[in-house]
Amino acid sequence: MPSATLTIDPAFTIAPVNRRTFGTFVEHMGRCVYTGIYEPGHATADEDGFRKDVLELTRELGVSVVRYPGGNFVSGYRWEDGVGPRADRPRRLDLAWHSVETNEFGLDEFSRWCAKAGVEPMMAINLGTRGVQEALDLLEYTNHPGGTALSDLREQHGASPYGIKLWCLGNEMDGPWQIGHKTPTEYGRLAAETARAMRMIAPDLQLVACGSSSSKMPLFGTWERDVLRETYEFVDHISCHAYYGNDDGDTASFLASAVDMDHFIEAVVATADHVGAELKSSKKIGISFDEWNVWYGERSRRTDGPGDQWEVAPRRIEDEYNVTDAVVVGNLLISLLRHSDRVGVACLAQLANVIAPIMTEPGGAAWRQPTFHPFAITSRLAAGQVLRIETDSPTVSTARYGDVPAVDAVATYDEGRVALFAVNRSSEGPVEVTIDVSRAGVTTLDEAVIVHDEDPNATNTAERPDRVTAQPFESARLADGKLTLTLPAISWAAVSLSE
């Protein structure tokens, strides 16, 4: 059996675990909001119409931050449509997803939902059809204590200041599909003006400028450079978005998607630092990886309706995930954690029904997709400092990324506790992994779990919601400062150890 060796040393620190790495995303798209997190009349609905089954699963998922309300949706959105008495709220065309938006759920409901879910809101503003004034109005409504038209309006709606800290200055403005799509200089100027004005109300906001909507975009690299040349002193983060799929059946490359995420993050960090050097600035720009996931165009087409009807909350991109997808999601989280020195925020896109870890049926059950498990476990176990791991692994050959290590891993260390997250990206067979943990002084194996199945295409459905779960990893052993794991082909595992 091929073997790999890893060394964990608490001295090899990268950065503290950033709780905002465990963010997700709620967009007014498909059934993420309507019949996802919100369904008045559902058997589990609370007094606000929020599905309590979904709220519970959101807590179990260990979500820290939720980005809202889009996505592409935000670039045509009027935030004021979604506040105040429901009877007065207009129905609007949503051009991004060719749907009808009822505005039954809006900013006030989202803020209440965040409080109940115990998550921090991350608000995106419309820089597609709107600009500086509307962003300022929204900020006055959400954050100003009172005594002005919009803060008093919020009080009339029964709400105290929301105190939202984290703001996205638009969404994917480099994409020709985006309403109000712009050149990098046009967008950079608008983002800088908006950020500067928003800081006049609240200097301590944390602001995210739009980076490329994928590293495959024609302007990737120059977009980030040109946008940051305009915005560097006014923003804290630049965004990255990445979706990985296996539509072409190249599973070896798909399993190595985290290699691409590593390169993506490092390329954007290098570009941001280059602009910082040009500007002679000591400030460092962070990465807000505010959309990432597995997304299959092919599977989406199977669940999407005709798309030419203007419907309310139609089924859109309801991908059904399998074990292989869960292993890739676990590995993408390893990549995000490994870059904790620069990744300040990350959002799994999305939370419910739309390429989501949580699925629901209208009037019916809610269940966990296989991808739910690595996310929930990583969020629960990662604590303290992220550690760089020295890895010596056999390689897998991939068409897209060349030879890549079969085993990829990251660890965290918190006051005598080690958490290790590892994947075997090979479809060929198991790898015997020996981890030297002697320098961490740990002697007790508290928990070991694995996501793996003889059938890597196994999925969960409403009828069989727990066909794929995280199982006890029986073969994990700790003795004489060495942890040994036999990682089967296409598997993700987590181990927690203590002194």
Q: Give me the residue label for tokens 């050149």.
A: 183
- Smallest separation (angstroms) from ligand AHR to the CB of 247: 16
Question: Residues of 303-313 as b/e, b for ≥16 C-beta within 10 angstroms?
Answer: beeeeeeeeeb
Q: How many CA atoms lie within 13 A of 109 on its CB side?
A: 27
Q: Tell me whether residue 71 or residue 344 sits nearer to ligand AHR (CB atom).
A: 71
Could you check whether the bond before residue 394 is cis, i.e. omega within 30 degrees of 0?
A: no
Q: Does 70 bind ligand AHR (CB under 6 A)?
A: yes
Rounded to the nearest 5°, which phi and psi values hold at 288? Answer: -110, 100
| Token digits of residue 140 | 């006055």
The two most distant CA atoms of the chain are separated, in Å, by: 71
Beta bridge partners of 120: 65
As a whole number of angstroms, the distance between CA 245 and CA 321 comes to 11
Segment interacting with ligand AHR, rule: CB under 6 A, options 15-23, 69-77, 135-143, 150-158: 69-77
Segment interacting with ligand AHR, rule: CB under 6 A, options 65-73, 79-87, 268-276, 277-285: 65-73
Q: Which of 18, 24, 64, 72 binds ligand AHR (CB under 6 A)?
A: 72
Segment interacting with ligand AHR, rule: CB under 6 A, options 64-72, 326-334, 336-344, 366-374: 64-72
Options 39, 109, 120, 291, the catalytic residue: 291
109 is catalytic: no
- Smallest separation (angstroms) from ligand AHR to the CB of 106: 17
CA 244 from centroid of its chain's CA atoms: 13
Q: Which of 56, 32, 31 is nearest to 45 (CA)?
A: 56
Q: Which of 350, 360, 371, 460 binds ligand AHR (CB under 6 A)?
A: 350
Q: Give me the residue label for tokens 């150890």.
A: 497
Site for ligand AHR in 135-194 (CB under 6 A): 171-172
415 is catalytic: no
Q: Does 69 bind ligand AHR (CB under 6 A)?
A: no
Segment interacting with ligand AHR, rule: CB under 6 A, options 58-66, 68-76, 219-227, 461-469: 68-76
DSSP, res 203: T
Q: Are 61 and 84 in contact (CB under 8 A)?
A: no
Q: Tell me whether residue 177 or residue 397 sits nearer to ligand AHR (CB atom).
A: 177
Q: Tell me whether residue 304 or residue 436 sits nearer to ligand AHR (CB atom).
A: 304
Q: Does 94 bind ligand AHR (CB under 6 A)?
A: no
- Smallest separation (angstroms) from ligand AHR to the CB of 72: 4
CA distances from 348 to 288, 374, 412, 419 (A): 11, 12, 20, 21
Q: Are 445 and 476 in contact (CB under 8 A)?
A: yes
Beta bridge partners of 422: 409, 493
How many residues does this entry show for the chain?
A: 499
Q: Does 349 bind ligand AHR (CB under 6 A)?
A: yes
Q: Does 120 bind ligand AHR (CB under 6 A)?
A: no
Options 172, 224, 230, 318, the catalytic residue: 172
For residue 196, with 0-12 CB atoms within 10 Å meaning exposed, 13-18 middle and 19 or more buried, which class applies? middle
Site for ligand AHR in 201-240 (CB under 6 A): 213
- Smallest separation (angstroms) from ligand AHR to the CB of 110: 16
Q: Does 290 bind ligand AHR (CB under 6 A)?
A: no
Q: Which of 70, 84, 57, 209 is nearest to 126 (CA)?
A: 70
As a whole number of angstroms, the distance between CA 42 and CA 363 comes to 5
Q: Tell me whether residue 74 or residue 410 sits nearer to ligand AHR (CB atom).
A: 74
Task: Tell me, by CB under 6 A, how many residues bind ligand AHR.
Answer: 11
Site string for ligand AHR, 8-37 (x = CB under 6 A): -------------------x-x--------
Q: Which of 30, 71, 82, 330 binds ligand AHR (CB under 6 A)?
A: 71
Element (H, E) at 267: helix 257-278
Site string for ligand AHR, 244-283 (x = CB under 6 A): ----------------------------------------
Give me the DSSP letters along 321-363.
PBHHHHHHHHHHHHHHHHTTTTEEEEEEE-SBSSS-SEEE-TT
Segment interacting with ligand AHR, rule: CB under 6 A, options 5-13, 70-78, 101-109, 388-396: 70-78
Segment interacting with ligand AHR, rule: CB under 6 A, options 66-74, 82-90, 137-145, 476-484: 66-74
Rounded to the nearest 5°, which phi and psi values hold at 94? Answer: -105, 105
Q: Tell me whether residue 242 or residue 327 sits nearer to ligand AHR (CB atom).
A: 242
| Rg, Å, the chain Cα set | 22
Q: Does 286 bind ligand AHR (CB under 6 A)?
A: no
Which residues of the shown chain bind ligand AHR in the complex (CB under 6 A)?
A: 27, 29, 70-72, 171-172, 213, 291, 349-350
Report the catalytic residues.
172, 291
